Chain A
Amino acid sequence: MLSVLIFFPFVAALATLIAKENAKRVALGATVIEFALSVWMAMQFNPQGGTQFMVDYWWVPSLGISFKVGMDGISMLLVLLTTFLVPIIILSSFSILKSKISNLPLFYSLILFMQMALVGVFVALDGFLFYIFWELALIPIYLICLMWGGKDRIRITIKFFIYTLVGSLFMLVGLIYLYLQTPGTHTFDIQAFYNLHLSASEQGILFWAFFLAFAIKMPVFPFHTWQPDTYTDAPTPGTMLLSGIMLKMGIYGVIRWLLPVVPMGVNEWGTTAIVLSVIGVVYASCIALVQKDFKRLIAYSSIAHVGLISAGIFSLNLQGMQGGMIQMLSHGINVVGMFFIADIIMSRTNTRNLNELGGIRNVAPTFATYFVIILLASVALPLTNGFIGEFLLINGLYQYNAWMAAVAGLTIILGAVYMLVAYKKITLGEKNKLTETFTDLTSHEKIVMIPLVIMIFAIGIYPKPFLDIAEPSVQNLLNIIHGTILK
């Protein structure tokens, strides 16, 4: 079952390649089926049941590498996020890039290919398999950015690629090291990694090998420099994939492959990680304040949000972790909505410069309404999804250290400032030459917006089902971590 979930997008990617004119319909249909499949699996999922839907085959027996996948609550939520967002991203690309994208079949097949890798990352239970999927996700997004990106794409994409590859290669060395420590004929099985009892100094070094990879992907300050350029320059569906789903790979990596594997390393360096994350929160928020380019502003706000998630997770308590889980969903939904808004503005006015815009509310009230909902969600207004996540995160962080929580809490204030300023500049005030002709949302665009808005309120008003899916798994993970530290 789970193998189908992983490889169905791959088959669909091949089908898309040969579908020519119908490529986009094939891609959309396939991702909707994939989403239905994942929902169906979620219904059968028992949160208390530990890791489920296990598939375990030998892949390279002589090297202890197996194709071992399975889902617990944490994986389940992220798989749902992926399968929910990809059809929306594909749907959004129908309207916004009609003229800009040549060779559509290749474009959609790369997105589907990436979906396979993303689902694979979230369910892999074998270190090597995890690494393969991790890298596989990089190739399609690199090609998407390279082939359909903005003017400066060549320089930016190579920076992005090499930056992320640096991190992952160190992770590979770390994985091989762990592998060689496993007893008997070595194995990459995650359980074997959990059962290793390495010395504190070994764990300290391994912590950095892994943390570097994950921190670059998220990105955490000071490893973020690739991110604003790449987000700004990539075609919007690519940006959505990067920010909506791909950065969750980094956070997921921390939860699954860093905290329980090297708990003593985390014990030693966790504070450093939190400090870096919190610095990132404030730093990115401050930069976002002065951005004129709307897409770039969202990119920096994304760094701020991710910094908070990372800080909450490293605080190693239930609230922080659960907040991280919910906020990963929320951030994925909100940031995709935001980039969609940015792209609608861009495609109608040919500018993303906040100072050149204004008065859109007068000509496009529906657009302005959707905009304000997504915006309020991303500044964490109560009853929206952003609030639940940030509340739990700051709560978790507060238990760890009150001062950290206070500083990180600035993000809510700063976030509200830069987002509302941006909203004011874009939609309020006098309309000008550029915005006069701004047409309101088409029905097609509404179809993209509505599921996002529904999810914003669903999670915001009644987050319990989502929290319930993750809680036993998170608790289990925390027991592993704390158990090892105390020993």
Chain B
Amino acid sequence: MTTLIILSALGLVVLFSEIFGYKKIVLPFIFAGLVAALAASFIDWNIGKHYLNEMMIVDNYSIAFTVLMIAITIVWFIISPGFFRDQGSRVDHFALIIFALIGAQLLTSFGNMIMLFLAVEILSIPMYILAGSNKSNLASNEAALKYFLMGAFATGFLLFGIALIYGQTGSFNLQQISEALTTQQDGGGVMAVAGVLLIMVGLFFKVSAAPFHFWAPDVYTGAPTEITAFMSTVVKTAAFAGFFRLFATCFSASASIWVNTIMVVSALTIIVGNITAVYQTSFKRMLAYSSIAHAGYMLMAIISLNGYAQQSILFYAVAYSVSSIAAFGILLAVSHITKNDDVASFNGLAKKNPLLAFVTLLAMLSLAGIPPMAGFFAKYYIFTAALQQHYTWLVLIAVLGSLIGVFYYFRVIIALFKNENSAAEIPMTGIYKAALLFISLVALVFGIMPGLLAGLL
């Protein structure tokens, strides 16, 4: 709760900085605020509290995800300092990012359907605006419109679903819904089944699972790279945290009606995401498809419904966010010089930028799921959790998917080490380098000592 208050206050302060003219010092202020929020998150660790009539439930699960997302946001603010440097409305965008973070936090800790809906909206609306924040760019405008229309549809589904569930159970409270679903037969009656499925469709849109993923590549490519980085890490993590919280706890009683659907969607997402990523020449678009593929793996955790599932989705979210933000950080640095997003712009970079090559190597190995990186352990957890439920064929598809993944992630590594002397030197500030190195080492450390995270939940 303290975290929420700090973040909200920070958002307002940043928003007003334009009016009261303290724009220049706003960035240090943001860092201070985020660090304070991060520290405040730990207050409720191992205590577990309810707020606002159980609208918000803060437990270890939500705290872990909140900490992850705030930490990623801090890194994000370091790697995009030049974020719209030339535009006057820069601080507005910062404020929007912080508001989105508030939505993300709520999405990990809702205890009530209303709060779920509010969280999704608080998270999404700033993102619609930010996707179009490069106003002079046609692709950015297209991305915003597409994202908004698709997002609005998805929210509509979500709301329908919530209404139907309410109709059946007479409550918005997750605890009460869960109890009502357990006592009734057939997954809680027709309305509840329809409701669960509609909510599922809405959330599939949000996490860009196939076949509801078509908006994602265009939006990810069209939006400014900084925003794409935020969308594919913090927003995605939040959406999954919410998805998991709702389905694995509240709807677990009616699991039989939705497990098969998620299983098929998960397999489809892994296949479509990975195979399409192979054909991309743009690094940014490749990351967009790879993020779809990773959504497929994370869906596997949701249907695993066992002791492993919670920690496996947390681990996956950490590994994926950390490696992704590193990848985007590199892309930002490189595309700033080369002025394009192609994989080819990485050609031969290793010679003059050993640090950058090292970070890219670690990030790509982690995304591809090669030991000893965190990405490997994340996949390992997910696969183990799924095998325990005897989803053998799904695991086999996921294994094949990660093999295809190796192919396109390694294209980047290959590009780095190409023998080309024309490659430019990429200038990076000290703190930028430190941030990139730090997060890639985090991905390494969690791979070598997964116990640090594994026993947490």
A244 to chain B, nearest CB (A): 23
Asked if A161 and B410 sit within 8 Å, CB to CB, the answer is yes
> Could you say which of A161, A170, A176 contacts B387, with CB atoms under 8 Å apart?
A176
Chain B at the A interface: SS class: helix
Asked if A165 and B414 sit within 8 Å, CB to CB, the answer is no
Residue of A nearest to B386 (CB): A176
Asked if B450 and A60 sit within 8 Å, CB to CB, the answer is yes
Give the interface segment out of A130-138, A281-289, A292-300, A349-357. A130-138
Asked if B455 and A173 sit within 8 Å, CB to CB, the answer is no
C-alpha gap A176/B388 in the complex (Å): 9
Chain A hits for B365, CB < 8 A:
139
Asked if A60 and B370 sit within 8 Å, CB to CB, the answer is no
Chain A hits for B372, CB < 8 A:
132, 135-136
A135 to chain B, nearest CB (A): 4
Chain A hits for B406, CB < 8 A:
161-162, 165
Given contacts A131-B371, A135-B371, contact A146 B454 (CB under 8 A): no
Give the interface segment out of B205-213, B218-226, B281-289, B395-403. B395-403
Chain B hits for A180, CB < 8 A:
384, 387-388
C-alpha gap A138/B368 in the complex (Å): 14
Q: Is A154 an interface residue (CB 8 A)?
A: yes
Chain A hits for B450, CB < 8 A:
60, 63
Given contacts A162-B406, A162-B407, A179-B384, contact A173 B396 (CB under 8 A): yes
Asked if B403 and A162 sit within 8 Å, CB to CB, the answer is yes
Taking CB atoms and an 8 Å cut-off, the chain A residues in 125-148 that contact chain B are 131-132, 135-136, 138-139, 143, 146-147
C-alpha gap A62/B395 in the complex (Å): 22
**Extra contacts besides A63-B450, A146-B413, A180-B388 (7): CB < 8 Å:** A59-B451, A61-B451, A62-B455, A132-B371, A138-B370, A173-B395, A173-B396
Taking CB atoms and an 8 Å cut-off, the chain B residues in 352-368 that contact chain A are 365
B406 to chain A, nearest CB (A): 6
B448 to chain A, nearest CB (A): 9
Q: Is B417 an interface residue (CB 8 A)?
A: yes
Asked if A176 and B455 sit within 8 Å, CB to CB, the answer is no
Asked if B383 and A173 sit within 8 Å, CB to CB, the answer is yes
Q: Is A172 an interface residue (CB 8 A)?
A: yes
Q: List 16 A-B contacts (CB under 8 A).
A: A60-B451, A61-B455, A63-B384, A63-B450, A131-B371, A132-B371, A135-B372, A135-B376, A146-B417, A154-B414, A158-B414, A162-B403, A165-B403, A165-B406, A176-B387, A179-B384
Q: Which residues of A contact B (CB under 8 A)?
A: 59-63, 131-132, 135-136, 138-139, 143, 146-147, 154, 157-158, 161-162, 165-166, 169-170, 172-173, 176-177, 179-180
Chain B window 403-428, contacts with chain A (Cβ cutoff 8 Å), 1 for yes, 0 for no: 10011001001100110000000000
Q: Is B42 an interface residue (CB 8 A)?
A: no
Residue of B nearest to A205 (CB): B392
C-alpha gap A138/B410 in the complex (Å): 13
Interface size on B, residues (CB 8 A): 26
Q: Is B380 an interface residue (CB 8 A)?
A: yes
Chain A hits for B396, CB < 8 A:
173
C-alpha gap A172/B381 in the complex (Å): 12
Given contacts A63-B454, A162-B407, contact A170 B399 (CB under 8 A): yes
C-alpha gap A159/B212 in the complex (Å): 33
Chain B hits for A162, CB < 8 A:
403, 406-407
C-alpha gap A62/B387 in the complex (Å): 17
Given contacts A60-B454, A135-B371, A139-B365, contact A169 B399 (CB under 8 A): yes
Asked if B417 and A169 sit within 8 Å, CB to CB, the answer is no
C-alpha gap A139/B358 in the complex (Å): 13
Chain A hits for B407, CB < 8 A:
158, 162
Chain A hits for B454, CB < 8 A:
60, 62-63
Given contacts A61-B451, A62-B455, A158-B414, contact A166 B387 (CB under 8 A): no
Chain B hits for A157, CB < 8 A:
414
Asked if B414 and A176 sit within 8 Å, CB to CB, the answer is no
C-alpha gap A74/B396 in the complex (Å): 33
Asked if B371 and A136 sit within 8 Å, CB to CB, the answer is yes
C-alpha gap A312/B106 in the complex (Å): 63
B372 to chain A, nearest CB (A): 6
Residue of B nearest to A158 (CB): B410
B1 to chain A, nearest CB (A): 30
Chain A hits for B383, CB < 8 A:
172-173, 176
Chain A hits for B380, CB < 8 A:
172, 176
Chain B window 244-272, contacts with chain A (Cβ cutoff 8 Å), 1 for yes, 0 for no: 00000000000000000000000000000
Chain A hits for B414, CB < 8 A:
146, 154, 157-158
C-alpha gap A61/B454 in the complex (Å): 9
C-alpha gap A61/B450 in the complex (Å): 10
Chain B hits for A154, CB < 8 A:
414, 418
Residue of B nearest to A135 (CB): B371
Residue of B nearest to A163 (CB): B403
Residue of A nearest to B418 (CB): A154
C-alpha gap A62/B413 in the complex (Å): 34
C-alpha gap A306/B370 in the complex (Å): 27
Chain B hits for A138, CB < 8 A:
370
A349 to chain B, nearest CB (A): 24
> Could you say which of A147, A158, A176 contacts B384, with CB atoms under 8 Å apart?
A176
Asked if A166 and B451 sit within 8 Å, CB to CB, the answer is no
Chain A hits for B371, CB < 8 A:
131-132, 135-136
Chain B hits for A147, CB < 8 A:
417
Residue of B nearest to A59 (CB): B451
Given contacts A62-B455, A173-B387, A180-B384, contact A135 B370 (CB under 8 A): yes
Chain B hits for A158, CB < 8 A:
407, 410, 414
Chain A hits for B399, CB < 8 A:
169-170, 172-173
Chain B hits for A62, CB < 8 A:
451, 454-455
C-alpha gap A143/B365 in the complex (Å): 12
Chain B window 328-369, contacts with chain A (Cβ cutoff 8 Å), 1 for yes, 0 for no: 000000000000000000000000000000000000010000
C-alpha gap A162/B368 in the complex (Å): 11
Residue of A nearest to B369 (CB): A169
